[in-house]
Amino acid sequence: MASDKVTVSFSCKGCGTRLSWLDDAIDSTKISCSNCGKYFGTYLDLRNAAMDATKAEIESRMEDILKRR
Ligand SMILES: [Zn+2]
């Protein structure tokens, strides 16, 4: 089911550019906006944020499922 897929992406709060980084980024790699240069934190910070967002998404879906019963 395609709806089971959880995707998390980050956009720059300043200019809206989608943040991206190299595949070989490590935890201490610093991520900043490629357009305006705003600093967002390290790859580890973003990974943790993505993890939290994913958990929140899963929890809200679980609630939806439980409500339907
Ligand atoms: Zn930006």
Q: What pTM did the predictor assign?
A: 0.69
Instruction: Work out the average pLDDT over 50-59.
Output: 92
Name every residue whose Cβ is closer than 8 Å to that of residue 39 and which is 6 or more positions away in sequence: 30, 31, 32, 33
Q: What spacing in Å lies between the alpha carbon of 52 and ligand 1's midpoint?
A: 22
Q: What spacing in Å lies between the alpha carbon of 32 and ligand 1's midpoint?
A: 8
Q: What spacing in Å lies between the alpha carbon of 16 and ligand 1's midpoint?
A: 6
Q: Tell me, what's the pLDDT at 10?
A: 87
Q: What spacing in Å lies between the alpha carbon of 59 and ligand 1's midpoint?
A: 30
Neighbouring C-alpha atoms within 13 Å toward the C-beta of 57: 13
Nearest to 6 by CA among 62, 49, 58: 58
11, β-bridge pairs: 18
In the chain, where the domains are located? 12-42
* Mean pLDDT taken over the chain: 88
